[in-house]
Amino acid sequence: MTTEPQLETVDMMLNMGPQHPATHGVFRMVLKVDGERVIDVIPHIGYLHRGTERLAEVETYGQVITLFDRVDYIANLNNELAFVRAGEQIMEVEAPERAQYIRVILAELNRVASHLLFIGTYAIDLGAMTPVMYGFRERERIQNLFEHVTGARMMHNYMRIGGVKSDVPDDFVPWVRQLIGEVRKGVEECDKLLSTNEVFLGRTRGVGVIDGPTAVSCGLSGPSLRGSGVPYDVRKDDPYEIYPYLNYKVPVGENGDCWDRYYLRMLECYESLSMVEQCLDQIPEGPIMAAGRRIARPPAGEVFVHSENPRGDLGVYLVSDGTDKPYRVKIRPPSFCNLVGLATMTRGSYIADAVAILGSLDIVLGEVDR
Amino acid sequence: MNVTLSDAITLGVQLFALFNVAALGAVSLVWLERRFLGRLQGRPGPNRVGPFGLLQPIADAIKLMSKEDVAPGSSQRLLFYASPILVFVPAFVVWLTFPLARDVVVRNMEMGLFFFVAISVLSIVGLVLAGWSSNSKYAILGGFRAAAQLVSYEIPIITMILIVGMLSDSLDFVKVVDAQATVPFIAVVPLAFVIFLVAGLAEVGRTPFDIYFAESEVVGGPFVEYSGAHWAIFFLAEYVNTFVVGILGALLFLGGWRWPFGADLPQVASVALLMGKAYFIVLVIFWIRGTYPRMRIDQLMAMAWKWLIPLSFVLFLAAAFQLKFEWPWWVLTILSLVILVVPVIVQSRKQRNPALALAARYAANAVVVQAKPRPAPASEDVAGATPAAEGTSP
Amino acid sequence: MISGLKGMLVTLRWLGKKNITANYPKEHLPVQERFMGFPGLLWDETAEEPFCTGCMVCVRECPTQCMTAIMHDNPKAAEGTSHRRKIIETFEINLNRCILCGICVDVCNFDAIAMSHEHELASFARTGARADLGLLLDLGRKFQEEVSWAPKGADRNVASVVLAKRAAAEAAKAAAAAAAPKVEETPVATEAPEEKPAAEKIEEGDS
């Protein structure tokens, strides 16, 4: 408990310190409370700052991809995709179609894995200890596939500027088809266990409400924004890769409370699985790497690329000075910008709701602090 | 009254045996909970310490005993160290009246049920003192919140015990079990068992009612300042209380050691049957823990005062009417099921159906994105196999 | 109530399922074929020496700068049993720093390094994470046996293949020179074949 004597002495400061019993990483939240109600939230970040953007200035483009794996360490392939798209745009190369399909398949599977982790950790924040095991069981299947294709369960270093590192193994398509069926069943199980459970509804319905215009002005994106009724999705509004060739739905909420944000992620899991199925039907044969020089030495210039990460809108602003190392890589992390909405959502709610609201934003500290 | 030496020795042996039964029961619950929760989650639970992890509670105990004994500097030391004992002792004293078989009891009182109720509420005092003597703002808040929760849920438990007492025309445990020779009370008043179970969960402080100490994520409960061995005593008291809820449920509602066998079994079999029923109730408690999230403290109190207490009073009246007008026992079953239907319908209307409708609406109203047709491939091929030299990305 | 009871049925159904966890450390889950564990240095059996010449490309490209390497003259080149004029003398990887990204394997031109399947190398000593040449060669050897490894550029890197090619080229040159007039051909013939493979290597390393 911290008190700052020079401020008002009526309200109490309650510190949810950097170490949490729940997950979310190292994040410090100071709640100003009046009795049982929260008056203000002061977030303190920076505990996981690793100098990613500074390192990107001294590492070559191939090495920067490994940095991006670790920015949002749960949606690795989505981050890699954003950066390699920025590299491709500044080098004016295009990845071949097969490579784009492989990338989208892996990125969407990574989205499902990320949402499964969210469902599990959100449930255990609120006290339900089984959905996390079920969710991680399904995640394990997806990570097994990643290991089969990329060589690593998490930090893949698989995408390259111009394509992907290596072609997928021969049994990729049947493996992924079976995987989709199994993961869909697992997601349905978590859905049945949690979504309409009366205690869960009591903890999340009507909690942490934020309306559409406020959400937009706070800079929210991803499911947190769509929960408030704003149908903005980068895959739909600023399409990239082969997303235009897919049929999918973007679920949008109405109330802007924690349950909406949770349930939209559940629906997105189903949508991502159907997108992967369509990609498997459409994937062509062909090269997986654009022809041309292998060492990236782009012309001087700058480019901004954004993509739909599981957490929201990830932006990469890449400035090149003509050498084989970037001049500046600025990352616009969705979790960092989503945290701006935390104070608005938490004001006026109970202390016990602060945990539920923070969980529903689905932040990853690697992204917030870089 | 003359207390001879042999009386004292007998009593001492009985008390020692009772202590062992209760403590071993609680310790076995520690093991059983972790294994059962593990199986619900698809994992084995502790299986490294001893065969099937049976020595895991001993490993836990050793770990807790070996921790540093710290107390806050500004705490009231005497009360601080006495509070765990104040919580722990009532959990064991109530065992004096529990008959594990007809003759396996330390002291069978005619007011056995009343004795249980009277002693068990003493642990609330210990909890409040634990919070207060820690001299930490959030321990005090947690302690008072715990007290409020426990006191509120005492009323439904007491009312259910009264109903059982009315139906068996006695407060004596042995007579209660005898009254269930043909039909256990769970069949006569199923709603009473449900209310007893829910209120019992809240009394013990188990999910979904464990926010007063699991809220240690945020506020801290009354146990926040306790370390090592002192915390182990609280922990053990919680498991003894859980076991008590199980045994009480078995005695009061599941027919004790008699049902479904009309006559008395040999003693060992009676004890085994009672323990089996108690463990079954305990497994249901663990099962609930594995499924439900935690309720917030205000929702928990609302549930007690707006639902459990009125329902228990209505049920009490129904039982009273049934006894007055001497209706057959199944009338009470029907009445209690009818009363049970009311909260189910109300909850469905107010919470479940809107949520289901909302879920369906979100799935239906999702913004649909249509696929654009893919550009014709460079070379002719069967569907799916198009060698594209450069992909057409927007 | 109804949803909660349905949820309880979901958890109850899991009682009958098998465990989803492996009983580590008694049971080790197998890794996939492409799994990237710690790097290992590969062994050229035809010359009884590592493939690695100590060219330091992987050392330069490593994002975490976890490797150090020193090369020296290869005594086997003078003997004629190997085409590598330089060979690795010491090689150290700080396993604490290695992020298992596989960039070193991507950039190596000599098929000298591969990501082995070894990922359980925790040690109790503080210096236990320093993998020296012996350990790295062991890791590589185990990996080679495990996956029946074959080099990607066998005609450039495997000693027996390269020496055989050189011998054939020399024989062809000798045969061509024998047919042509014999004017001071000896100094030219011996130096040219040695410089060409080195030049080829540098060119391939560049592109």
Is the predicted pLDDT of residue C152 greater than 80, yes or no?
yes
The residue with tokens 């084989």 is A324
Furthest CA-CA distance within chain B:
109
Kindly state the average pLDDT of the residues B208-229.
Answer: 72
Q: pLDDT grade, residue B106 (50/70/90)?
A: confident
Q: Among partner residues A66, A147, A197, which is closest to C4 by beta-carbon distance? A: A197
Is the predicted pLDDT of residue C200 greater than 50, yes or no?
no
Residue contact A254–B369, C-beta within 8 A: no
Gyration radius from chain C CA atoms: 25
pLDDT confidence of residue B140 = 80
Q: Is the peptide bond before B51 cis (omega within 30 degrees of 0)?
A: no
Which chains have 3 or more CB–CB distances shorter than 8 Å to chain B? A, C
Cβ-based contacts of C11 with chain B (< 8 Å): 40, 287, 290-291
Q: Domain spans of chain C?
A: 27-153, 158-206
Cβ-based contacts of A198 with chain C (< 8 Å): 1, 3-4
C-alpha triplet A145, A147, A149: angle, nearest 5°? 70
Residue contact C11–A62, C-beta within 8 A: no
Give B38 to chain A, closest Cα distance, Å.
9
Distance CA B301, CA B287 (A): 23
Kindly state the average pLDDT of the residues C110-136.
Answer: 90
**pLDDT single digits (tens) B153-176:** 999 999 999 999 999 888 999 899
Residue contact B42–A95, C-beta within 8 A: no
Number of Cβ within a 10 Å radius of residue C144: 18
A9 part of contact set with chain B, CB < 8 Å:
no
Is the predicted pLDDT of residue C194 greater than 70, yes or no?
no
Residue contact C20–B43, C-beta within 8 A: yes
Phi, psi of C140 (to 5 degrees): -65, -45
pLDDT confidence of residue A9 = 55
Is the predicted pLDDT of residue B211 greater than 70, yes or no?
yes
Give A197 to chain C, closest Cα distance, Å.
5
Distance CA A317, CA A300 (A): 13
pLDDT confidence of residue A338 = 93
Residue contact B217–A20, C-beta within 8 A: yes
Distance CA B300, CA B201 (A): 12
Strands (E), chain A: 12-16, 28-34, 37-44, 159-160, 163-164, 248-250, 301-309, 312-320, 326-332
**pLDDT single digits (tens) C23-55:** 888 888 899 989 999 999 999 888 889 999 999
ipTM of this complex prediction, to 2 decimal places: 0.86
Phi, psi of A140 (to 5 degrees): -60, -40
C127 part of contact set with chain B, CB < 8 Å:
no
Distance CA B296, CA B209 (A): 8
Kindly state the average pLDDT of the residues B74-85.
Answer: 84
Residue contact B348–C2, C-beta within 8 A: yes
Cβ-based contacts of B294 with chain A (< 8 Å): 126-128, 199, 203
Burial zone of A22 (CB within 10 Å; 0-12 exposed, 13-18 middle, 19+ buried): middle
C20 part of contact set with chain B, CB < 8 Å:
yes
Fold of C27-153: Alpha-Beta Plaits (3.30.70)
pLDDT confidence of residue A337 = 93
**pLDDT single digits (tens) B52-73:** 889 999 999 899 989 888 888 7
B190 part of contact set with chain C, CB < 8 Å:
no
Which of C59, C52, C38 is CA-nearest to residue C128? C38
Residue contact C21–B291, C-beta within 8 A: no
Cβ-based contacts of C33 with chain A (< 8 Å): 148, 169
Residue contact C32–A137, C-beta within 8 A: no
Gyration radius from chain B CA atoms: 27
C-alpha triplet B381, A166, A183: angle, nearest 5°? 80
Higher pLDDT, A351 or C139: C139
pLDDT confidence of residue C186 = 52
Distance CA C176, CA C188 (A): 13
Q: Are strands A28-34 and A326-332 parallel, antiparallel or unpaired?
A: unpaired
**pLDDT single digits (tens) B293-338:** 988 888 889 999 999 999 999 999 999 998 898 888 888 888 888 8
pLDDT confidence of residue C24 = 86
Per-residue pLDDT of chain A (370 residues; tens, 9 = 90+): 555 556 555 667 878 878 776 557 889 988 888 877 889 999 999 999 999 999 999 999 999 999 999 999 999 999 999 999 999 999 888 999 999 999 999 999 999 999 999 999 999 888 888 999 999 999 999 999 999 999 999 999 999 998 999 999 999 999 999 999 999 999 999 998 899 899 999 999 999 999 999 999 999 999 999 999 999 999 999 999 899 999 999 999 999 999 999 999 999 999 999 999 999 999 999 998 988 766 668 889 999 999 999 999 999 999 999 898 999 999 999 999 999 999 999 998 988 888 899 999 999 999 999 8
Give this prediction's pTM: 0.89
A144 part of contact set with chain C, CB < 8 Å:
yes
Give A173 to chain B, closest Cα distance, Å.
12
pLDDT confidence of residue B131 = 85
Cβ-based contacts of A22 with chain B (< 8 Å): 217
**Residues near B196 by Cβ (< 8 Å), separated by ≥ 6?**
B156, B157, B160, B248, B249, B252, B253
**pLDDT single digits (tens) B112-164:** 899 999 998 888 888 888 888 888 777 787 888 888 999 999 999 999 999 99
Distance CA B348, CA B325 (A): 34
The residue with tokens 């240095």 is C41
